[in-house]
């Protein structure tokens, strides 16, 4: 890759003809149309959220350097490799799209700044490296840079490495704040749209893995596709299944591994009304400490109570059950584990220590048994594990 240093351009030159696309939240062009500010492998504009764009303007006004910019030369045109966010901050400020705070704490849009400060901004020279190289060279280099401030996440890097028609279409669907279809999945999928987290979820569902390698493999195979039908159909299918299986929406549904749950359970048939009744019951049960586990628990037919992180007996309840059993056991000369006592083996008369026993529900929790003193018995660890049910 060949690089040339360029120091004769100013903020005014680069921001000439600056366009910002509000719908897509990105800077489009600068330098009188010669410069593409956000090529496909760049992420959407993040400085506004991160409150960093005012810092760029403050730096210029104080005479601090804003750092090196890297452009990639493609034929007679240029793309921003590194510096998109700083250039977009400058362009947005000059277009009066956000104010800064002056030393007196007052908001100042560009148009309200004193003329000498406006000129100071416009005439600030920029330090730019112009790069020329093959696509692979540029992308390999791009993958290694970490733009000061906010590092690229794994999906953003994959979007740059596999940029092409597939990524463009996938971003239009899953990273586009103007896409009305978002309302379809907002209750079930959690993630930051702009940081490509929704796209990452959609990809992980269709490849049935959240491993980066599997996602990259899929992106690489579909890189030049002219549609995202498979991705979209699969994603929509999962959402549709969730909606019909659970017509009522609960906050805890957001961000669950619906792709995995769909794969595991969509072949079963469920009665939505029955599921709903069960869910309501579990929501009301104070012993269920992880409400997020409820959905997989009911899909699995109630066989995995550990999904619910059920809170069992209080320490005081266990201690009093232990004392009660030990007292009786010593009186009748048998083990304080009722199952050891019954079994008649070598532990039939063994008095276990408190630390060697676990609490058990006489009537299983999954069959309605409460976590109260009258439903608590202490068993030795071996018998408690063997009994196994909740
Ligand atoms: Zn025992």
Q: Distance from the CA of 325 to the center of ligand 1, in angstroms? A: 12
**pLDDT at residue 149, rounded to an integer:** 45
Q: Which of 66-75, 194-203, 362-371 has the highest mean pLDDT?
A: 194-203
Per-residue pLDDT tens over the stretch 112-165: 999 999 999 999 999 898 888 887 777 777 666 654 445 678 888 788 778 889
Per-residue pLDDT tens over the stretch 77-107: 998 888 888 998 999 999 999 999 887 888 8
Q: Distance from the CA of 385 to the center of ligand 1, in angstroms? A: 10
Spatial CB neighbours of 31, under 8 Å, sequence gap ≥ 6: 9, 13, 14, 16, 17, 78
**pLDDT at residue 42, rounded to an integer:** 60
C-alpha angle 250/371/376, rounded to 5°? 160
Of the two residues 328 and 156, the one the predictor is more confident about is 328
**pLDDT at residue 225, rounded to an integer:** 95
Q: Distance from the CA of 337 to the center of ligand 1, in angstroms? A: 5
**pLDDT at residue 53, rounded to an integer:** 86
Q: Distance from the CA of 348 to the center of ligand 1, in angstroms? A: 8
Q: Distance from the CA of 350 to the center of ligand 1, in angstroms? A: 9
Lowest-confidence region among 9-23, 25-39, 179-193, 284-298 = 25-39
Q: Distance from the CA of 73 to the center of ligand 1, in angstroms? A: 77
Q: What are phi and psi of 84, to 5 degrees?
A: -55, -45
Judge whether residue 8 has pLDDT over 50: yes
Q: Distance from the CA of 336 to the center of ligand 1, in angstroms? A: 8
Q: What is the mean pLDDT of the chain?
A: 88
Q: Distance from the CA of 312 to the center of ligand 1, in angstroms? A: 20
**pLDDT at residue 248, rounded to an integer:** 94
Q: Distance from the CA of 326 to the center of ligand 1, in angstroms? A: 13
Q: Distance from the CA of 321 to the center of ligand 1, in angstroms? A: 15
**pLDDT at residue 147, rounded to an integer:** 47
Q: Distance from the CA of 364 to the center of ligand 1, in angstroms? A: 18
Q: How far apart are CA 191 and CA 200, in angstroms?
A: 9
Judge whether residue 332 has pLDDT over 90: yes
How much is the average pLDDT of 338-342?
93
Confidence of residue 45 (pLDDT cuts 50, 70, 90): low
Q: Distance from the CA of 339 to the center of ligand 1, in angstroms? A: 5
Of the two residues 312 and 256, the one the predictor is more confident about is 256
Q: Which residues pair with 2 in a beta bridge?
A: 132
Q: Distance from the CA of 199 to the center of ligand 1, in angstroms? A: 52
Q: List the structure tokens of 81.
A: 């490799």
**pLDDT at residue 158, rounded to an integer:** 84
Q: Distance from the CA of 379 to the center of ligand 1, in angstroms? A: 5
Q: Distance from the CA of 139 to the center of ligand 1, in angstroms? A: 64
Q: How far apart are CA 38 and CA 28, in angstroms?
A: 6
Q: Distance from the CA of 358 to the center of ligand 1, in angstroms? A: 10
Q: Distance from the CA of 382 to the center of ligand 1, in angstroms? A: 6
Of the two residues 370 and 201, the one the predictor is more confident about is 201
Q: Distance from the CA of 388 to the center of ligand 1, in angstroms? A: 13
Of the two residues 244 and 25, the one the predictor is more confident about is 244
Judge whether residue 50 has pLDDT over 60: no
**pLDDT at residue 189, rounded to an integer:** 96
CB atoms closer than 10 angstroms to residue 265: 17
Q: Distance from the CA of 354 to the center of ligand 1, in angstroms? A: 12
**pLDDT at residue 317, rounded to an integer:** 92
Q: How far apart are CA 19 and CA 21, in angstroms?
A: 7
Q: Which residues pair with 30 in a beta bridge?
A: 35
Q: Distance from the CA of 341 to the center of ligand 1, in angstroms? A: 7
**pLDDT at residue 390, rounded to an integer:** 54
Q: Distance from the CA of 368 to the center of ligand 1, in angstroms? A: 24
Q: Distance from the CA of 313 to the center of ligand 1, in angstroms? A: 19
CB 132 within 8 A of CB 1: yes
């Amino acid at each position: 890759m060949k690089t040339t240093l360029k120091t004769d351009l100013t903020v005014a030159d680069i921001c000439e003809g600056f366009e910002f696309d509000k719908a897509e939240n990105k800077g489009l062009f600068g330098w009188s149309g010669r410069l593409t500010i956000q090529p496909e492998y760049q992420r959407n504009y993040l400085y506004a959220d991160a409150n960093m764009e005012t810092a760029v303007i403050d730096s210029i006004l104080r005479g601090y350097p804003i750092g090196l910019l890297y452009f990639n030369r493609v034929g007679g045109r240029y793309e921003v490799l590194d510096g998109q966010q700083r250039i977009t901050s400058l362009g947005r400020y000059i277009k009066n799209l956000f104010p800064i705070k002056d030393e007196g704490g007052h908001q100042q849009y560009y148009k309200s700044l004193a003329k000498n400060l406006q000129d100071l901004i416009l005439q600030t020279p920029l330090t730019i490296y112009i790069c020329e190289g093959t696509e692979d060279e540029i992308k390999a280099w791009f993958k290694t840079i970490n733009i000061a401030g906010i590092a690229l996440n794994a999906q953003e890097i994959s979007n740059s490495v596999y940029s092409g028609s597939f990524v463009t279409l996938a971003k239009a669907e899953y990273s586009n704040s103007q896409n009305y279809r978002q309302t379809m999945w907002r209750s079930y999928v959690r993630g930051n749209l702009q940081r490509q987290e929704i796209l990452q979820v959609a990809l992980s569902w269709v490849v049935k893995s959240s491993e980066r390698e599997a996602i990259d493999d899929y992106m690489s195979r579909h890189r030049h596709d002219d549609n995202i039908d498979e991705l979209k159909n699969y994603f929509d299918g999962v959402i549709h299944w969730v909606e019909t299986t659970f017509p009522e929406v609960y906050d805890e549904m957001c961000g669950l591994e619906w792709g995995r749950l769909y794969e595991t359970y969509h072949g079963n048939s469920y009665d939505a009304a029955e599921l709903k009744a069960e869910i309501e019951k579990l929501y009301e049960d104070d012993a269920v400490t992880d409400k997020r586990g409820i959905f997989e628990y009911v899909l699995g037919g109630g066989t995995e109570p550990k999904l619910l992180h059920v809170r069992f007996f209080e320490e005081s309840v266990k201690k009093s059950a232990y004392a009660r059993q030990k007292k009786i056991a010593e009186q009748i000369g048998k083990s304080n584990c009722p199952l050891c006592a019954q079994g008649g083996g070598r532990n039939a008369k063994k008095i276990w220590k408190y630390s060697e026993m676990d609490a058990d529900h006489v009537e299983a929790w999954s069959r309605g048994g409460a976590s109260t003193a009258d439903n608590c018995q202490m068993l030795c660890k071996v018998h408690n594990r063997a009994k196994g049910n909740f």
